[in-house]
Structure 1
Amino acid sequence: MAVVSTPNASSVKVKFDHGTDLNGDRIVKTKTFSSIKSGASNENIMAVVNVIASMQQHTLSGTNRVDNSSLSE
């Protein structure tokens, strides 16, 4: 039997550099934005992330797109 994959809403994890702690270890905080349309292009998502990052006091250090799918037979 064939397995069918149905895309669900995606999410984006945006990481911000908050400097270092007293031990010199890097502090990175993550903000997750969920319920992003699965058909949204990577370019559009990155454009929105860049606008959000420009309004933050901390530096953008990474962006991860997380795609989810439902599987059925």
Structure 2
Amino acid sequence: MADQTPRNGTTLLRISLAIFAIGLVAIVAIFAVPAISGDDPPLWLYLTAMIFSPLGFVLAIVFALLSGRRAR
């Protein structure tokens, strides 16, 4: 019989990685917008980068702490 691990624990990791990736894309876009169009990046791009990158990072740390095993 195959060992099936619960998938509920990896859901938090997948969500945190997706949020962090959105933040990184926003950071890249902040540098790409002036290079491509010559205009300043919009405010929502800065806010997305400021909120999503740290939030995804913190959620990944929370996942690591919750999934860790205690030493006996």
Q: TM-score, normalised by structure 2?
A: 0.25
Give the number of the structure whose residues are more often strand, by fraction.
Answer: 1
Bigger relative CO (Cα 8 Å, ≥ 6 apart)? 1
**Larger helix fraction of residues:** 2
Larger radius of gyration: 2
